[in-house]
Structure 1
Amino acid sequence: MDVVGERLGGSDKWEPLVSEQDDTVQETEEVSEADGIERKLPDTKPSHVSFFLDGNQVIDGLRTTSNAPPLVSPTKRTENGTPSHRTLRQNQQGAGACQNQLAILDDKGTTEVSAVVHEEQTEHASEDTETLVGLQQSRSLPDAIALLSKTTQDLEGRVNALLAQHEEEFFASFRSHMAKVKKHVEELQARADEQKNLLERDLRIKTLQQELQWFVNEAVRLDQVCKRLKGDLLSWRARTDALREDRDFLEAELKKAKPIVKSAHAIHGSPPCQPGMNALAHTPSDDPKVLRETIEELKKQVSSLAAANRRLQNEAKRNSRIESNLVEASKALSRRRDLESFFLECINEVRKERKLRGAPSTSLGGFETLSLEEFLAYDRRMVLTALLSNDHVLQKLYSLIFPHPGVIE
């Protein structure tokens, strides 16, 4: 017989050769028959053969370990060539222990897979158990090598099936995990959008509050300007009344002087001229020189009176324009005062609602002295809602945002 040897189970020991084992068996049997004494033959089975019974469980059924009892060699015979009862009992006990261990490992391996895989693994476990029993009952190394070769041939198929199963489980768990991740990302995106909307709304509210504060300051400034213009208006009205009285008096004097001048020109034959104020103090005279001087003086007085009249007319026109401007300013001021009063009413309403709502006011003081900076965002939104509910406020905002040329507020 050819020399047959193979390194098994990653061990550094080589299996005994088939020819050497056969010679050892023959010599031992001859010595036993000659002496008539039962002797144990050396175990011809491999002492460190390992093979896979499950996809991820390694069963060392033939190696001597603390979990599996050592198998008793079946070569122990009686004198008539049949195995003794003691040997058979020991072999049965060893086979039972190996089967129990295989059952435990099979239970541990099949609890983590599906029902179909459980059935397949059970079939493989039964086949491997049969292989192990066959190895235990075999007498020579070639039978063990044949069974081991058959097991190693099926190993690739089992490994491929196990890899396919693990790949399917991995992809299933990966899809489930990615679905959870996608759901989590969508939730985070929704939260981010909500926070972004809140930030934009707060920014708009802050901008509107700044604009409202600017309008309040502008209203206060215009109120002061209107008060000053009212004082100027009263002074200009007094001056206008005084100038109007002077003009009426001068017109009456001119009317009285006209007949005197006409009579003087009729007497002396000179061209008619409008008399002045000093014409009343002069009496008619026959002296041409005196009359000429009187006429020249009256001409100067008439020219000065005409200039004063023109100046007074210009001042009257200017005063009328100022008066119209002041009237328009007073009307605008009254409208702004109405807006201011409406704004204060809205603020007071929100303060009252804040107090009725039971907001803490120990640190902020009473609601009458509560400032705008201490309002909450909800209170400010309530103020804006109350302001925008007025049509006049909306019209004012529209005229400020979209001004039209030639439109006077």
Structure 2
Amino acid sequence: MTMMHTLTPLADAAADVDDVARLVTADGERIADADLDPWIADVGVDTLRGLYRDMVLVRRIDTEGVALQRQGQLGLWAPCNGQEAVQIGTARALRADDFAFPSYREIGVQYARGARPADYVVAWRGEEHSTYDPYVINTAVPQIIIGAQTLHAVGYAMGIQRDGTDQAAAAYFGDGATSQGDVNEAMIFASSFGAPMVFVCSNNQWAISEPVTVQAKFPIAGRAPGFGIPSMRVDGNDVLACLAAMRWALDHARSGRGPAFIEAVTYRMGPHTTSDDPTRYRDKDELERWRRRDPIARVEALLCARDGFDDAFAAEVAADADALAAEVRAACLGAPSRAPLTILDNVYAEPHSGLDAQRASFGAYLDSFADAAVEGEGR
């Protein structure tokens, strides 16, 4: 199901949204797509309402995360505003026993996989290396190293092959990560070994301060067939298209036909992280064009057209979002500060002599502050 028209050169990253597969327009109109329609034949109003609720709650978590960082409660935050559709649409297509490998921006994937309120903030607060057991929600710890999770995912997928099950692995990464060697090496291994693997590229138009047109002169989905991997390029602000594409990709992977690749064309509405100032490299007109393509607003419009949206439902979702945000905030502010030496706990599964040496060295360094304080009192 490679979209052959992906060979059209990219001229303007901000305007390049027509050359994608979609099921719901920016105005909320449901349109037909021969490739995608069969994969969402079961989706009715109730499912749409669930997807809408998911995206609203994820955006609320994101808003709270930004606020907590600005208030000095978190060291950093990587916003996902504008990317809720690709995260929720693809993650809701996964089975509970599949394994997801997110980057640092996939708040929606963590949410869909069952993360708790504390899981979104405690690590960014610097209190834990990881706030959840990956094997409880079948989701790896969010990866900070750009693209490294793709190699981890392929390794896991090759393990699935050896176990003889029909699970799949999914790796999430951005357009900038496709320039990393890790992503390309992962695609080679996945293709060569026919691993049950789905690559999900969230093309949000900007790799920190460089536009996607610097990363790729042609759409990114066009690269995958060069590795022998079928690909699809979809509207990443269309949650139905993302759900359908992921169902196709997972079916392909489970059936023994090897990996599949999805490029979801979306937009990062906020900064790369809270340490970034996007006004230095993006213009307001570009931002406003994408604001009119909001993924949540289009589902609301679709639901209104199907009599699936009213004031009571909106109020219920808003209340749920506020309650979740309050739990996230409470988890952040209530997180206990651990002793400094515990930073070396749970680094390795087994005792390690090198770690013992580091613990002794760090302990001596910490003790030096106490010695200095005693000396100061004696003067």
What interval of TM-score do these two structures reach, taking the shorter chain for normalisation? Answer: under 0.3
Query: Which one scores higher on RCO, CA 8 angstroms, separation ≥ 6?
Result: 2
Structure with the bigger percentage of helix: 1
Larger Cα-atom Rg: 1
